[in-house]
């Protein structure tokens, strides 16, 4: 069958999509894939009060994988005590009740882990979790930044939302799609089709982003539902858009262009902002040849709104986050007198320039010029770069007040990122839960929290405090009766 693309207006035939012509520029091609890792896949899922759908998504991940033993799931669970958590629903679907939740009083619920049920829950040891109270949630971009705290030494990373279904053998198919890009820095990404297309067997085409426009926030914007489509591809097709709802790449992407935790309360702009950051660091996006995951576009069945985490008092922080993004993109209304070098790894890379990005997308950010509507949604020419430059090398140099740089407490074998050289500092967040679920290390040993307090735990300090109190009382305190008796004896001695 002939490969063809629909750009939102009409169908176009794709010529020679089985060759490398669209990648070769002046004899240069991308770095070939290097398959020297363990092949494990880390699936990151941010979930905001969406435990019911999230738990079923996790179950589908393991049930549909060809090699479920090689899958690690990382959940950033933002919920309330009374909510059904993602892991709780997953285990309950398999017949294990891992939590009991007695009510202590009207507004207080205690969450207690059943150790036996948790241990017996299938593949619970392959699930890592960061727990945040929903009151402290700051949006999807901020939540995704927390997932690196539970990223281990896995080779591949899949980023999705909390409400998805997968095709059979999705893990093998994704690896084959990635290898077919013939690009170590390739990213498989597109807007997933919905459950309706999956259930009605209408998933014959793959979504592809075409338009690049602007919203009121002055940041370039990709269509979040996808405005184009493509079918009968013979190999992944070089793209100019990216979707945070479905992204598959080597995990060194998370080192080179990690999510920026200093952009709280923003939503939607993360797609272009991160695309610009990783594209200037040498990464390329490809539309896959097939649909591998499907996305629920229906409202949260538990009744929580998509932006429930945002309140009017947060607007100031959101405005500052948008200015931060506009600053390194060269967009209007940016931060004033801000040293862009202080962004560190959260800024642009040095392999490609912002000007090259604008030419690739056919846009002008400073003058707010969108991609022309009649611009073809195919035929992109791969942009070469100097491969001697590391993807973690920053465009802006000489910081005078460097932002705290990311830490990877469980990733002991970074490919590019040098944590010590980045002068990393911890981000103060509420993480972990009553279970302390950090999963197992590569050698099967239990991972520990490297940021744990050096002081003894409360179970040790409390008994010591009681003993000390008793000793103090016996040494310095006395009863009123004994003090009165001593006073009378002294008075009698004076009278005599």
The mean pLDDT of the chain is: 85
Tell me, yes or no, whether 153 and 10 share the same domain: yes
Tally of CB atoms within 10 A around 300: 17
Pairwise pLDDT comparison (203 vs 240), residue with the higher score:
240
Residue 284: which of 178, 156, 396, 210 has the closest Cα? 178
Residues 204, 229: contact at Cβ < 8 Å? no
pLDDT above 70 as % of the chain: 82
What is the C-alpha to C-alpha distance for residues 318 and 340, in angstroms, rounded to an integer? 19
Q: Is the pTM of this model over 0.95?
A: no
Report yes or no on 48 lying in a domain: yes
Tell me, yes or no, whether 216 and 331 share the same domain: yes
Tell me, yes or no, whether 353 and 462 share the same domain: no
What token pair was written down for 112?
Answer: 């207690």
Provide CB contacts within 8 A for 112, sequence distance 6+: 99, 100, 101, 102, 434
- Give bridge partners of residue 131 from the DSSP assignment: 77
In this structure, the strands spanning 41-48 and 71-79 are parallel
Tell me, yes or no, whether 334 and 464 share the same domain: no
pLDDT above 90 as % of the chain: 67
Per residue in 443-489, pLDDT (tens digit) is 343 333 333 444 444 555 666 667 777 676 666 654 444 444 444 44
What token pair was written down for 10?
Answer: 């009409």
What is the C-alpha to C-alpha distance for residues 292 and 246, in angstroms, rounded to an integer? 10
Q: For the chain, how long is the longest CA-to-CA vector? A: 123
What is the C-alpha to C-alpha distance for residues 230 and 203, in angstroms, rounded to an integer? 11
In this structure, the strands spanning 99-100 and 112-113 are antiparallel
Four-residue CA torsion sign, 391, 396, 400, 402 = negative
Task: Report the alpha-carbon angle 29-25-415, nearest 5.
Answer: 30
Report yes or no on 36 lying in a domain: yes
Domain end point (choices 324, 345, 361): 361
Tell me, yes or no, whether 353 and 478 share the same domain: no
Please provide residue 162's backbone torsions phi and psi, each rounded to the nearest 5 degrees: -90, 5
Give residue 400's pLDDT. Answer: 95
CA distances from 350 to 285, 341, 347, 362 (A): 18, 12, 10, 20
In this structure, the strands spanning 193-194 and 103-105 are unpaired
What token pair was written down for 342?
Answer: 């202080």
Tell me, yes or no, whether 345 and 462 share the same domain: no
Task: Kindly compute the dihedral angle of the four CA atoms of residues 151, 415, 267, 289, in this order, to the nearest 10 degrees.
Answer: -100
From first CA to last CA, the distance across the chain in angstroms is: 123
What token pair was written down for 474?
Answer: 């016996």
Residue 422 confidence (pLDDT) above 80: no
User: Which of 9-18, 246-255, 431-440 shows the lowest mean pLDDT across its residues?
Assistant: 431-440
Residue 492 confidence (pLDDT) above 60: no
Residue 228 confidence (pLDDT) above 70: yes
Residue 493 confidence (pLDDT) above 80: no
Pairwise pLDDT comparison (66 vs 296), residue with the higher score:
66
Report yes or no on 367 lying in a domain: no
Tell me, yes or no, whether 97 and 229 share the same domain: yes
DSSP, collapsed to helix, strand or coil, labels residue 77 as: strand
Per residue in 203-217, pLDDT (tens digit) is 679 999 999 999 899
Give residue 483's pLDDT. Answer: 44
pLDDT bracket for residue 22 (50, 70, 90): low
Report yes or no on 254 lying in a domain: yes
Give residue 472's pLDDT. Answer: 66
DSSP, collapsed to helix, strand or coil, labels residue 270 as: helix
Residue 287 confidence (pLDDT) above 50: yes
What is the C-alpha to C-alpha distance for residues 155 and 447, in angstroms, rounded to an integer? 18
53-67, 417-431, 440-454: which is most confident: 53-67
Residue 75 confidence (pLDDT) above 80: yes
Domain end point (choices 338, 361, 384): 361
CA–chain centroid gap for 219, Å, is 21
pLDDT bracket for residue 297 (50, 70, 90): confident
Residue 281 confidence (pLDDT) above 70: yes
Tell me, yes or no, whether 354 and 463 share the same domain: no
Packing angle of the helix pair 51-64, 86-93 (nearest 10 deg): 50
- Give bridge partners of residue 284 from the DSSP assignment: 186
Give residue 196's pLDDT. Answer: 82
Per residue in 139-198, pLDDT (tens digit) is 999 999 999 999 999 999 999 999 999 999 999 999 999 999 999 999 999 999 988 888
pLDDT bracket for residue 299 (50, 70, 90): confident
Tell me, yes or no, whether 351 and 468 share the same domain: no
Residue 430 confidence (pLDDT) above 60: no
Report yes or no on 410 lying in a domain: no
Report yes or no on 466 lying in a domain: yes
Give residue 250's pLDDT. Answer: 97
What is the C-alpha to C-alpha distance for residues 65 and 48, in angstroms, rounded to an integer? 25
Tell me, yes or no, whether 342 and 463 share the same domain: no
What is the C-alpha to C-alpha distance for residues 296 and 162, in angstroms, rounded to an integer? 9
Domain end point (choices 361, 389, 420): 361
Give the CA count within 13 Å in the CB-facing half-sphere of 145.
26
Give residue 20's pLDDT. Answer: 57
Give residue 463's pLDDT. Answer: 65
Give residue 19's pLDDT. Answer: 53
Task: Report the alpha-carbon angle 356-361-365, nearest 5.
Answer: 80
Tell me, yes or no, whether 322 and 463 share the same domain: no
- Structural domain boundaries, residue 70: 4-361
Q: What is the DSSP letter of 280?
A: T
Residue 435 confidence (pLDDT) above 70: no
CATH number at residue 253: 3.90.550.10
What is the C-alpha to C-alpha distance for residues 479 and 380, in angstroms, rounded to an integer? 89
Sheet strands side by side (includes 206-208): 11-13, 4-6, 228-231, 206-208
User: Which of 122-131, 213-222, 385-394, 418-427 shows the lowest mean pLDDT across its residues?
Assistant: 418-427
DSSP, collapsed to helix, strand or coil, labels residue 263 as: coil
Residue 490 confidence (pLDDT) above 90: no
Give the CA count within 13 Å in the CB-facing half-sphere of 42.
28
Report yes or no on 434 lying in a domain: no
Residue 158: which of 116, 189, 122, 129 has the closest Cα? 189
What is the C-alpha to C-alpha distance for residues 276 and 270, in angstroms, rounded to an integer? 10
Pairwise pLDDT comparison (291 vs 486), residue with the higher score:
291
Residues 43, 60: contact at Cβ < 8 Å? no
* Count of the separate structural domains present in the chain: 2
Tell me, yes or no, whether 345 and 464 share the same domain: no
pLDDT bracket for residue 293 (50, 70, 90): very high
Report yes or no on 62 lying in a domain: yes
């Amino acid at each position: 069958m002939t490969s063809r693309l629909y750009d939102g207006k009409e169908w176009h035939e794709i010529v020679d999509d089985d060759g490398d012509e669209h990648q070769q520029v002046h004899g240069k091609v991308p770095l070939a894939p290097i398959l020297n890792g363990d092949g494990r896949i880390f699936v990151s899922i941010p979930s905001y009060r969406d435990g019911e759908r999230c738990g079923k998504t996790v179950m589908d991940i393991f049930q549909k994988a060809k090699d479920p033993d090689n899958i690690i799931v990382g959940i950033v669970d933002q919920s309330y005590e009374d909510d059904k958590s993602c892991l709780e629903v997953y285990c309950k679907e398999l017949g294990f009740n891992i939590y009991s939740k007695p009510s202590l009083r009207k507004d207080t619920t205690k969450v207690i882990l059943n150790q036996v049920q948790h241990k017996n829950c299938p593949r619970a040891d392959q699930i890592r979790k960061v727990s945040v109270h929903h009151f402290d949630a700051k949006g999807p971009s901020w939540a995704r930044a927390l997932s690196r705290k539970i990223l281990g030494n896995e080779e591949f990373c899949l980023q999705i939302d909390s409400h998805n279904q997968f095709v059979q053998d999705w893990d093998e198919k994704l690896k084959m799609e990635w290898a077919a890009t013939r690009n170590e820095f390739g990213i498989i990404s597109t807007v997933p089709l919905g459950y309706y297309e999956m259930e009605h067997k209408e998933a014959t085409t793959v979504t592809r982003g075409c338009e690049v426009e602007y919203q009121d926030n002055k940041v370039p914007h990709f269509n979040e539902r996808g405005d184009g489509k493509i079918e009968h591809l013979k190999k992944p097709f070089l793209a100019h858009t990216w979707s945070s709802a479905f992204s598959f790449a080597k995990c060194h992407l998370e080192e080179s262009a990690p999510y920026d935790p200093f952009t709280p309360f923003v939503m939607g702009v993360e797609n272009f902002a991160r695309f610009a950051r990783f594209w200037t660091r040498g990464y390329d996006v490809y539309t896959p040849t097939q649909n591998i995951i499907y996305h629920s576009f229906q409202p949260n069945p538990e009744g929580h709104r998509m932006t429930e985490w945002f309140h009017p008092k947060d607007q100031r922080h959101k405005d500052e986050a948008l200015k931060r993004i506009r600053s390194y993109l060269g967009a209007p209304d940016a931060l004033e007198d801000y040293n862009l070098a202080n962004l560190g790894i959260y800024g642009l890379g040095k392999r490609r320039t912002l000007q090259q990005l604008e030419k690739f997308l056919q846009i002008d950010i400073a003058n707010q010029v969108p991609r022309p509507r009649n611009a073809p949604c195919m035929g992109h020419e791969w942009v070469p770069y100097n491969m001697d430059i590391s993807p973690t090398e920053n465009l802006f140099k000489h910081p005078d007040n460097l932002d705290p740089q990311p830490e990877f407490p469980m990733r002991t074998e970074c490919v590019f990122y040098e944590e010590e050289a980045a002068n990393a500092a911890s981000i103060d967040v509420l993480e972990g839960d009553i279970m302390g679920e950090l999963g197992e290390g590569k050698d099967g040993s239990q991972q520990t929290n490297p940021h744990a307090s050096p002081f003894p735990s409360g179970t040790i300090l409390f008994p010591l405090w009681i003993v000390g109190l008793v000793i103090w009382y016996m040494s310095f305190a006395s009863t009123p009766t004994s003090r009165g008796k001593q006073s009378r004896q002294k008075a009698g001695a004076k009278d005599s």
